[in-house]
Structure 1
Amino acid sequence: MPPSRFDRGTRRIALCGLTTLSAVVLLFSYRTSTSPGLPEEAAGGPDEPGPAVVPAAAAPVAAPGPVGKASTVRAWSGVVTGPVVPIKWGEVQVRATIARGRIVTVDVLRAPDENAHDRALSAAAVPVLVRETLGAQSARIDMVSGATFTSTGYVQSLQAALDRTGTA
């Protein structure tokens, strides 16, 4: 006749199995953020001025109105510099050149460069971030794996600069 209670070893195996099953269920039920929201803009201190804006002539551009009629909007052109964004490994700052409302170039003025690892990481991440920005024509871009802090600082500085121009 089998014993009415589990012995110690069987109880331990059952407990480990249920714990593992619970962990797997919790892992697969975890919802990651899918919102395209950006990190909040870095707050500048009292000694840090806002982004510098160097406007050029704003040219009128025909854009479709709400009913399909063309209306004239003024697309911003010029060079705008974002604020210096402090990150864990240094500072990031970008300058964007915008022509008729389109981002044509992005220059990274500051990136982490304190040691060889920082320089190598920045050298690999910055071209990817710039390419993504030019493709997306906004600061809503993917982060570079392995350079999350640099990517976050880049996006914050770029978004602050674009906010000053009225560009996406």
Structure 2
Amino acid sequence: MRRVALALFSTVTGLVMLLSFKTHSSTATVPVATAPVVPAGTSAGDSASSTGGTSSTGTASAPSSAASSAAASGTKTVTGDAVDTRFGPVQVQITVTNGTITAVNAVEYPQNNPRDQQINAYAIPQLNSEALAAKSANIDMVSGATYTSDGYLDSLQSALDKAGL
């Protein structure tokens, strides 16, 4: 009878300890998702999002018809929203010439420590080349750089939306 009582007590104690265990990942991701980096990136992106074409429009009417003139002819550079990830913000800039994406660059990405630098030295060039080849945000994520890839895709889609593509 003592063994049964001891086994039951040990089982209940272990179960209570297991259910009361708190992990750090749930508390670490909450502040990241609510950080106000995206609005700051939006206003910065809007002020630097469209650069007038060097060949087609240089008049005062360019800002009112920037989307239609870029689709018809000329070059426009658009910066997507800065997307805050668990390890830092990711922001993508695209160059559109005659309605086609001609360049894709990540202008901001996590570089806070050697591990971030190692991961992104591999991931960012791969994401840039895949986005340029696909001419859309329909690209694969890079294995081992999930957070960067996710932020990259969101920022790229934002830039494509701003460019009207």
Output the TM-score relative to the length of structure 2.
Answer: 0.60
- Tell me which of 111, 114, 117 is aligned to 2:115: 117
Report the structure, 1 or 2, having the larger strand content. 1
Structure 2: distance between partners of 1:144 and 1:150: 8
- Tell me which of 20, 39, 42 is aligned to 1:45: 39
Task: For 1:45, give the aligned amino acid.
Answer: P
Q: For the aligned residues, what is the CA RMSD?
A: 2.4
Aligned pairs (5 A) from 1:10-159: 44-45=38-39, 48-49=42-43, 51=46, 52-56=49-53, 57=56, 74=72, 77-159=75-157
Cα distance change of structure 1 residues 125 and 89 upon mapping to structure 2, 3 Å threshold: same
Displacement of 1:47 after TM fit?
8.0
Cα distance change of structure 1 residues 105 and 123 upon mapping to structure 2, 3 Å threshold: same
Report the identity percentage: 39
How many residues are paired up?
Answer: 112
Structure 1: distance between partners of 2:101 and 2:38: 24
Displacement of 1:103 after TM fit?
1.1
Paired position in structure 1 for 2:164: 166
Bigger drift between 75-84 and 86-95 goes to: 75-84
Output the TM-score relative to the length of structure 1.
Answer: 0.59
